[in-house]
Structure 1
Amino acid sequence: MDSMQVEVVRRHLRLDGVQYELTALREAGGDYQATWRCPKCQVGGASLLAYPRPNAALDWAQNCATSHERQVHAS
């Protein structure tokens, strides 16, 4: 029985005092499955990345943080 190797990449990003946790999983020879969750609004996202770039999830977190910032300044 073959054992499946899974690579796990975790990144933490702090924006405006909010800690985002980003995780990317990849089976050997496969695509990354990257996920993220925003602790402020509990919005999360997932995407299959066709290339090994788990940090792409940082873009999503940055967009979410920017959205919060706009809401704060608009009020």
Structure 2
Amino acid sequence: MSIFLSKFLNFLFLSAFIELISFECGSYRKRLTQNKIDYEKEQKIHINFRSDIMRYTILFVPKLDQKSN
């Protein structure tokens, strides 16, 4: 009886340990995914900002050069 109980408790402990590891891996994966999404959003904002600067530079700088001549 004690051997059966010992094996059963070992099985429960191992099951709980595996469940804990899989939960932690899932949380870590979720955090990585969220960080990647945030990083991509931030990069899109930077790209849009840079493209706006380039657009205004292309539009307004030649006009300023023509006025100075």
Structure with greater proportional helix content: 2
Asked which structure has the greater CA Rg, the reply is: 2
Q: Structure 2 length as normaliser, TM-score? A: 0.34
Q: Structure 1 length as normaliser, TM-score? A: 0.31
Structure with greater proportional strand content: 1
Which structure is higher in RCO with an 8 Å CA cutoff and minimum separation 6?
1
